[in-house]
Amino acid sequence: MMTNESMKQVLQKTPIGVGIYTSGMLMSYSHGVVTEDYLHCSNLRYIVNHGVVVVGYGKVKDEKVRGHCQEYWIVRNSWGSQWGENGFFKLCMDGAGDEKTPLGTCQVNAYGTWPTMKNYSLPADGKADSQS
């Protein structure tokens, strides 16, 4: 699992592709910050079922919050620009690693991937050989 701080460090250089669990509640999103209390998406028994891209983060100021939240991830969804805030949503980052959100809200901290810009080639035997 990535910590919020490690995710913030990566976001200084590149977006992070993540897997999350989402139910129908996210489909009704239009604006503001969504939380575990609203989405009920962080149970470890839930299987990740949606891919999104974390592109930034912020602190709650005047945004509507569905629950309680101080900081959030800015997330690019794949449902088109007519959905949410021009195709984006704000997902609460508070409490990652605690009992309520052990892998972050909707498991956002669990499955991050991003480009490293290292050159990898696959030889005939299929084993990766790093060419840094």
Tokens 């976001």 correspond to 11
Helix (H) or strand (E) holding 72: strand 71-76
C-beta separation of 33 from 60 below 8 A = yes
Per-residue pLDDT of the chain (132 residues; tens, 9 = 90+): 999 999 999 999 999 999 999 988 999 999 999 999 999 999 999 999 999 999 999 999 999 998 899 999 999 999 999 999 999 999 999 999 999 999 999 999 999 999 887 776 667 776 655 554
Structural domains of the chain in order of their starting residue, each with its CATH number? 4-131 (3.90.70.10)
Identify the pLDDT of residue 127: 63
Structure token digits, residue 21: 């669990």
Identify the pLDDT of residue 24: 87
DSSP state of 11: H
DSSP state of 47: P
Structure token digits, residue 29: 């999103």
Tell me how far apart the alpha carbons of residues 112 and 55 are, in angstroms, rounded to a whole number: 12
